[in-house]
Amino acid sequence: MSHSPASFKLIFVTGCMRSGTSLLHRLISTSPDTGERLAPARLIADILQLYMRYGGEDSAFAADYLQSPDALLGETRRFLQARLHDAWLHSGKPQCLALRTVEVAPMLPLVAQLLPEAKFAIAVREPKDTITSILAVGAKQRLLGRRTLASAGSVGRLCKTYNRAYLATLRRHRTDERFRDRAVFVRYEDAVADPAAVLAKVWQSFGLRPGNGVLTADPAKRASISELLTHRYWRSYRTDLSEAPVSARSIGSYRSALTASDIWNVNWRCRILRRAFGYAEHWVGDLRDRRDNYEVR
């Protein structure tokens, strides 16, 4: 049995990891149109990864098990709709289902094709702060005995991760007017400075009833989220700002974490997105940033 999510609005809150997706999701969830927050939608992202795999380079493994080349697209869409319908039920049948997942960020053009009713709230953050936060998570994971790519000397790889999260979406946003109407970019720095102004854009763009945008200390109520917050591995993603009121404490954290060489590296490798998101002309003003500004020019 297939389900269509036409009876409710659908928003994916996404962006690079450590870019403020949790904060943006919590702010959007203050709307009376959204239901109870669910665990991150990694399942949806994994389904999309399977489609990309067997609809692409591994298509020969799927051809004999489908009626036609287009069947995989249709089956994937129906399966996604059924899972979204279930999520809508678990969320209390809200007028709008708002799901957070960083994993779909590089795949938004595909998501837009598979789910033409979906809209996207895309969190962005100064890449130097984003990478600093990823490195901090990597340090926690190493203490837990987990292998991680986020370690000293990995800044170049993390720049690729940051770029991959946004470049395909930015290209589609610039060339496709219909996609542009479905996507809103929200800077983390703006969200913590003036949540009401940021949310006014979100409410208008997505046709949601305004919420108050006030975040108090909010321990997770759902068993799934509570489990993730205490899980031996997944708890490494928690910070003192997780499930906490809005705070600007982490803005500019890179200044005490990255070397001058790392800062220059991020500024150069992420220069396209820094310009697109309005970071290239906003320097914090310390000595290293002034040096970077001179060298990049």
Handedness of CA 229, 254, 102, 146 (dihedral sign): negative
Where would I find the H helices in 176-194?
Answer: 177-180, 188-193
Cα Rg of the chain (Å, integer): 20
Which position has the token pair 């290209």?
Answer: 171
pLDDT, tens only, 34-87: 999 999 999 999 999 999 999 999 999 999 999 887 899 999 999 999 999 999
Q: What pLDDT score does 167 carry?
A: 98
pLDDT, tens only, 204-231: 999 999 999 988 887 667 888 788 777 7
Contact by Cβ (8 Å): 121, 12: yes
User: Can you give the residue ranges of every domain in the chain?
Assistant: 5-296
How is residue 93 annotated by DSSP? S
pLDDT, tens only, 86-137: 999 999 999 999 999 999 999 999 999 999 999 999 999 999 999 999 999 8
Amino acid (one-letter) located at 258? L
HSE-CB at 148 with a 13 A cutoff on CA atoms is 23
Number of residues that this document lists for the chain = 297
Angle between helices 21-28 and 195-206 (to 10 degrees): 70
Question: Hey, which CATH number is domain 5-296, 3.40.50.970, 3.50.50.60, 3.20.20.60, 3.40.50.300?
Answer: 3.40.50.300
Among 16, 26, 180, 7, which Cα is nearest to 84's? 7
Distance of CA 148 to the CA centre of its chain: 20
